Amino acid sequence: MWVAEAPHSLIKPLLLRYSFLSTSHPFSSLTPPRRLLCFQSRRGLIATVTAMEGTKTTAGESPSDHVTGTWYSVPELRLRDHRFTVPLEYSLDHKSYTKISIFAREVVAVGKEDQLLPYLLYLQGGPGFEAPRPTESSGWISKACEEFRVILMDQRGTGLSTPLTTSSMLQLKSAEDLADYLKHFRADNIVNDAEFIRKHLVPDAGPWTVLGQSYGGFCAVTYLSFAPKGLKQVLLTGGIPPIGSGCTADAVYSACFEQIVHQNEKYYKRFPQDIVLVCDVVNYLAESEGGGVLLPSGGILTPRGLQLLGLTGLGSSTGFEHLHYMFERVWDPVIVPGAQKQISYYFLNAFEKWLSFDTNPLYALMHESIYCQGAPSRWSANRVRAENEDKFDAIKAAKEGHPVLFTGEMIFPWMFDEYHALRPFKQAACLLAEKNDWPALYDIASLKNNKVPVAAAVYYEDLYVNFKLVMETAPQIAGIRLWITNEYMHSGLRDGGGQVLDHLLGMLNGKKPLF
């Protein structure tokens, strides 16, 4: 791929758009159905994704499994809520399984409630974040509702799907119990939940379109691997995962550090005045008693904690601006002569809200596990960062007056000490980091034989899903079409209105040429 080798100086001035079509065509006959799909792990066969291609179950046949609400409105949209009762673990006998609830919101354009529209399932990024809550018809949802009945599913453990919050998880009495519970909250079971919903919602249990953003795209590739008969077509936006066996987290973080450094350079070039400002903050934190200052929730803000602001600030379209404006108000004004210099409550509060660990702790607990198949992560980001500490030592950089580099999408073990909302779950997080029997999330053989039409938006400077790793995976998904661009960042689906969705649909419905 020539674009991957193009010098950065040549790419940046352009709105880079490039399409790629796999050599395998996606429109030949489908593979035979399978009732139960199992994968080999290091400890033997583990039933992971139940394709649910057996007898159709409808809401009328199992009323307790599916409850449908009444229609209600937001401007130009009609919505109704669905609640499904599903197994925590699909491989267990249905008479003995633990049950959880999955919430999904159905969205249509006003006046289309009774029309026979094709279904589109949206899978949110994360892991550990709920689906969007529409307040009006706008952006990609407005575009999708022109031709689809949109299903916004809260992935298990988020939103209204038996949410795993900082309070609800305390019901599990031991770290071992919590870790054993959390192992069921990855892409394999998210796909099982999606298939359960499809069988209840789609007329004649027909296939639907899936739109996967970021981690939602990872889930969609798991869907392609193990339950392709449920899919009519798949749209990926910034969400093509590394699919190698074992744990690919080390490769992900090693590749991402290069892009993180580049994003830091771009940030300080945009806001050079922030070099001194951030150094001053780091020095203040390092010299404070205990090595940091108290956060409003009871945690502590340290220099290495401050660097986490790159998680949001360096990777989205307006992240640079928001990060800069946060630092504009980092210091309290001196309104009484002789008062001590201190970091403002405004900044400390904004810091906690930006990271969202208090409202979405599942992200911190499960993030590295999304890269694991039959191998532990062993705190991969922390190990890879240690190899790059010469670049990311905040205290050393601040003392020398060099730019302090922010980190990216990484979870570190010390976060479970420094952030109040995460402290009760430190031991469980450590158990998950050492878990070595994670079941498979992808089937490369099935992907190479894929027959489902797939189109993907690939963002050249994506901070979260590394371009080079994407280009290693893409050729292994037969028939995939890539739209490569640096017009958008990772948040392109949100930022582009309906343009990104329209472009991907056009790649599959003939409006965009194959070459």
How many other CB atoms sit within 10 Å of the CB of residue 411?
A: 23
Asked if 407 and 392 touch (Cβ cutoff 8 Å), the reply is yes
490 classed as catalytic = yes
- Cα–Cα distance measured from residue 233 to residue 243, given in angstroms and rounded to the nearest whole number: 20
324 is catalytic: no
Residue with tokens 């499809």: 198
Cβ-based neighbours of 265, under 8 Å, separated by 6 or more: none
The string of DSSP letters for 393-445 reads -HHHHHHHTPPPPP--S---TTHHHH-GGGGGGHHHHHHHHH---PPP---HH
**How distant is the alpha carbon of residue 300 from its chain centre?**
26
Q: How many Å separate Cα 165 from the centre of its chain?
A: 17
Instruction: From the candidates 332, 437, 495, 502, give the one annotated as an active-site residue.
Output: 437
Q: Is 503 one of the catalytic residues?
A: no
Cβ-Cβ contacts under 8 Å for 209 (sequence gap 6 or more): 118, 119, 120, 121, 148, 231, 232, 233, 234, 235
Tokens representing 166? 């900082």
Among the listed residues 214, 377, 380, 491, the single catalytic one is: 214
Q: What is the dihedral of CA 78, 107, 88, 157, to 10 degrees?
A: -90
Active-site annotation holder among 66, 82, 490, 503: 490
The residues assigned a catalytic role are 214, 437, 490
